[in-house]
Amino acid sequence: MENDNQSNLHIGILSSPGIGHIIPVLVLGNRLVAVHNVKVTVFVVTTAGSPTEAHLIKSSDMANNLNIVEIPPVDISALIDDNTKMVTQLCLLVRAALPGVRSALRAVSHGLDALVVDLFCTEALPVADELKLTKFVYVPSNAWFVALTVYCPVLDKEIAGQYVDREKPLEIPGCKPVRPEDVVDPMLDRGDQQYREYLAQGRGYTMSNGILMNTWEDVDPGSLKALRENETLSKVVGGPVFAIGPLTRNIEERDGYGMITQWLDKQPRESVLYVSFGSGGTLSGEQITELAWGLELSEQRFIWVVRPPSECGSDKSFFTTGQGADDMSDYLPEGFLTRTHNQGLVVPMWAEQTLILRHQSTGGFLSHCGWNSTLESLTNGVPMIAWPLYAEQRQNATMLTEELGVAIRPTKLPTKGVVAREEVMKLVKTMLQYKEGKEMRERVQKLRISAEKALSTEGSSYNSMCEALDMIQQRRDLKLHIK
């Protein structure tokens, strides 16, 4: 694959708000600049009062080589209440920001050749048409999730009643069926607005000239094949799909994180369990207590990023990450911090996850299975305890445990009840002490190597990105912008 003539391309990438969305967009932008020599402008739909995101965007290692345009925040407070779900809020934010997106794009449009929108920004695709830009959707997740999303409008017509009440799994042509309990959050209640937003997103993907996914061939072969070749599914998709990942952050150690790495330096190889629930995940007070006791009783080393309790499986802190670190002793079991002083580290609110996962002392990751966290774990060769909470995390957990064999999980879904301390203890010991953990570690090492290969020059993900860029180039040369 040649990428010499791609050096004169200028691509805009539009990100929805939320750290878990901005990170993969910045990572994609950086890869396009560094590896494919493309000029990139990132447009970020911002929310009022979100200092962590602003900090992240401006932090040097992520934004150095990118032109970053922040779309001014919009006020949607009149459109939402306490019950408005996260997907609905995101879609409302993006919808309200569209005039700002349009003017920002117009301001550089003479120089842009393509617009890549993230999964929550598909409503901006018509703006790409107005400006005669080639348009892609970037889904920073896996192909199985993409298959479910594009096929959901068909399921909507074929299936009556709530998906979660069904006994049989949902069939997606050519793909592994999705168990009703594993459906993505917006499919949990077909009467909620976020379901309608999700259906619109699925249709939106298919209006693009191609779908970019943060996955790679070896991790997702069945669903990728189905999206491309299954007669029914590929017709619904209606265009090419590109597996361009796994794209993950590569951050450098900075002042302030020394304490964690210094502690890790003193621990034996692969002996520490890292516990974190992404940028937005929270646990109930009761679950925090059981998790704390489980960690303590396991007598295994740990680093736990702790947030104040909220409703179980909540994504309520999605927009407010890093704020409001209350006194941890208010919600951790009495004496826990003192008793585990020599066993583990408890970090309030936020830790530099990739530094922890790449450290040789880290031997397992108890994770909510957000796709960024999943990729960061796999690419560092760290097996997981899957603890899905929201979004598409239940699907991810099933893929990790049942297909890839690189994770174990509690017997019941953490969103369906409290996982007791005894089970936590057993999972932790299995991960760090028993043969099963060792076998998972061996399997995840193979995936780590295959991920490196996919991203290397002439690897499958590298070639896939080149194909997408060639498509932009050809459409520009032919002035064939609109699908």
Indicate which residue of 4, 82, 113, 118 is catalytic.
118
* CB 42, min distance to ligand UDP, A: 16
* CB 281, min distance to ligand UDP, A: 6
* CB 50, min distance to ligand UDP, A: 14
Query: Does 327 participate in catalysis according to the annotation?
Result: no
Which residues are CB-neighbours of 316 under 8 A, at least 6 positions away? 280, 282, 310
* Strand arrangement of the beta sheet that strand 10-15 belongs to: 67-71, 39-45, 10-15, 114-118, 134-139, 210-213, 241-243
What phi and psi values does residue 378 have, to the nearest 5 degrees?
Answer: -65, -40
C-beta closer to ligand UDP: residue 277 or 475:
277
One residue of 201, 276, 298, 464 binding ligand UDP per CB under 6 A: 276
**310 touches ligand UDP by CB under 6 A:** no
CA distance 125 to 134: 9
Q: Which part of the chain contacts ligand UDP (CB under 6 A), choosing from 212-220, 236-244, 347-355, 450-458?
A: 347-355
Q: Which part of the chain contacts ligand UDP (CB under 6 A), choosing from 261-269, 273-281, 449-457, 474-482?
A: 273-281
C-beta closer to ligand UDP: residue 397 or 472:
397
Q: Residue 430, Cβ neighbours under 10 Å: how many?
A: 17
Name the token pair of 418. 């409290």
Interacting positions 1-20 with ligand UDP (CB under 6 A): 19-20
CA distance 44 to 114: 16
CA distance 33 to 140: 18
**400 touches ligand UDP by CB under 6 A:** no
**353 touches ligand UDP by CB under 6 A:** yes
**280 touches ligand UDP by CB under 6 A:** yes
**362 touches ligand UDP by CB under 6 A:** no
Query: Does 220 participate in catalysis according to the annotation?
Result: no
**230 touches ligand UDP by CB under 6 A:** no
Q: Which part of the chain contacts ligand UDP (CB under 6 A), choosing from 46-54, 108-116, 371-379, 472-480?
A: 371-379
* CB 55, min distance to ligand UDP, A: 12
The single-letter code of the amino acid at 371 is: W
3-class state of residue 430 by DSSP: helix
What phi and psi values does residue 338 have, to the nearest 5 degrees?
Answer: -70, -45
CA 461 to chain centre: 18
C-beta closer to ligand UDP: residue 29 or 278:
278
CA 483 to chain centre: 28
* CB 225, min distance to ligand UDP, A: 25
One residue of 52, 337, 350, 358 binding ligand UDP per CB under 6 A: 350
* CB 367, min distance to ligand UDP, A: 7
C-beta closer to ligand UDP: residue 356 or 466:
356
C-beta closer to ligand UDP: residue 105 or 447:
447
Tokens 């069926």 locate to 177
Name the token pair of 175. 């793909």
One residue of 70, 129, 189, 352 binding ligand UDP per CB under 6 A: 352
**28 touches ligand UDP by CB under 6 A:** no
The single-letter code of the amino acid at 220 is: D
CB 362 within 8 A of CB 384: no
* CB 259, min distance to ligand UDP, A: 15
CA distance 100 to 400: 39
**278 touches ligand UDP by CB under 6 A:** yes
Question: What is the DSSP secondary-structure string of 295-314?
Answer: HHHHT-EEEEEE----STT-
Minimal CB distance residue for ligand UDP: 20
One residue of 373, 379, 398, 401 binding ligand UDP per CB under 6 A: 373
* CB 350, min distance to ligand UDP, A: 4
CA distance 220 to 245: 11
Q: How many helices (H) and strands (E) does the chain have?
A: 18, 13
* CB 354, min distance to ligand UDP, A: 6
C-beta closer to ligand UDP: residue 249 or 481:
249
Query: Among candidates 38, 10, 9, 14, which has minimal Cα distance to 140?
Result: 14
Tokens 């459906």 locate to 183
3-class state of residue 187 by DSSP: helix
Angle of CA points 423, 425, 429, to nearest 5°: 120
What phi and psi values does residue 364 have, to the nearest 5 degrees?
Answer: -165, 160
**186 touches ligand UDP by CB under 6 A:** no
**371 touches ligand UDP by CB under 6 A:** yes
Binding footprint of ligand UDP, residue count (CB under 6 A): 20
Indicate which residue of 21, 36, 359, 368 is catalytic.
21
How many CA atoms lie within 13 Å of 454's alpha carbon, on the beta-carbon side? 24
Query: Among candidates 320, 329, 331, 334, which has minimal Cα distance to 283?
Result: 331
**370 touches ligand UDP by CB under 6 A:** yes
C-beta closer to ligand UDP: residue 230 or 354:
354
* Interacting residues toward ligand UDP by CB under 6 A: 19-20, 23, 249, 276, 278-281, 305, 350-354, 370-373, 376
Catalytic residues: 21, 118
